[in-house]
Amino acid sequence: MKIPSSIWTLLIGIVLTLASLWYGQNHGLLPTAATDEAVLVDGLFNAMMIISTGIFLLVEGILIYSAFKYRRRAGDNEDGPPVEGNVPLEILWTAIPAIIVIGISVYSFDVYNEIGGFDPHAIHEAPMNQESMKMPGHGSAMAATLTDTPPSTEPNLNQEKSDEAMQDPATAEVRNADQIPQLRNAPGVGIVAPTIGGSPDRAGKPPQLRVNVTGLQYAWIFTYPETGITTGEMHVPIGREVQINMTANDVIHAFWVPEFRLKQDAIPGRQSEIRFTPKKAGDYTLICAELCGPYHGAMRASVVVETEEAFDKWEQEQLVASKETLNQAVAVNPANLSPNEFLAPYTKDMGIQPEMLHQIHK
């Protein structure tokens, strides 16, 4: 019994679809998804992997089949039939990729918007004026990117963000904002610093945790404005939206945690912002993804995602370990314990004995 070609085409289409769907969801090419934003990015990546796998199998399958089916037979020395073209087929294989590209573009835009990358209000922060219409040089867009923005009477929102961050004494000790001028916003374009804000459902709401990040050759320094903690290891709690305000003291660096699926530049003179919501506990590595000097490859830091309870405990340990806040930690003793009794839960893992604390507070 001869199976019709239409049935073969249907069966092959089903097999290709199932194979593409399976591999697109089980490729194992991505690290752990540790934030809510990572799930959205992974969905986009998986969709593109499904489409790519299907196209690859289809094209390679047709190529292998054609090479075998239409190979030259022994004793066949004739020329092939003169085929001038197939207009319907050419329209088909042009239309299908166009539809795929448009679909991926729409999906990508939706994901970018969901993670807070699209801010329709940013352009209104720096209204267009007559000066912004004048491009330096001979009207070259390239020339415009190589020079600072023209003088303006508009507020320097980038400077305001820098001043706000510098109100935290711990951040002020780390950054050298007084030595690096804060660039103005580009008129009609919006803020000069790259920003990934809150998701649409949290638009206009303050973040639940703020961390100021400063990049310098070759280290990352994290300061927590609410508590005054300064550390070389970033801790964030699960389920709480975190806002990272970052800049650089020397050259351009890039904040990249692969498990978060987010990357943002830290630029001298500019205040970058990025928001994310951790969802999976673990120790992750912050990597500088911008060539920043001969020791660029060693510029790494630890990022710890932990439960709310573990994060609160870490905060208390940092406060107790800080000399500047030691007396304050004892002053808020809720149970009227002695200093060494109050500090014992936080110092036992540090190898500090109660007798030593007693001698310090005598």
Q: How far lies 6's CA from each of 2, 53, 93, 128, in Å?
A: 12, 23, 19, 60
Geometric angle at alpha carbon 112, from 34 and 184, rounded to 5°: 105
Cα-Cα-Cα-Cα dihedral sign, residues 7, 13, 17, 19: positive
Residue ranges with strand state E in the chain: 195-196, 209-216, 219-224, 229-231, 234-237, 242-248, 253-257, 262-266, 272-276, 282-288, 300-306
Reported as a single tens digit per residue, the pLDDT across 155-202 is 677 777 888 888 888 888 888 877 877 776 655 444 555 677 666 777
* Per-residue pLDDT at 49: 95
Query: How many CB atoms within 10 Å of residue 72?
Result: 9
**Cβ proximity of 258 and 32 under 8 Å:** no
Rounded to two decimals, the pTM is: 0.73
Reported as a single tens digit per residue, the pLDDT across 6-55 is 888 899 999 999 999 999 999 999 999 999 999 999 999 999 999 999 99
Higher pLDDT, 274 or 150: 274
Residue with tokens 């310098």: 216
Q: How far lies 34's CA from each of 27, 214, 258, 311, in Å?
A: 18, 22, 9, 16
Amino acid at 284: Y
Phi, psi of 194 (to 5 degrees): -65, 140
**Crossing angle between the packed helical segments 339-347 and 308-321, to the nearest 10 degrees:** 120
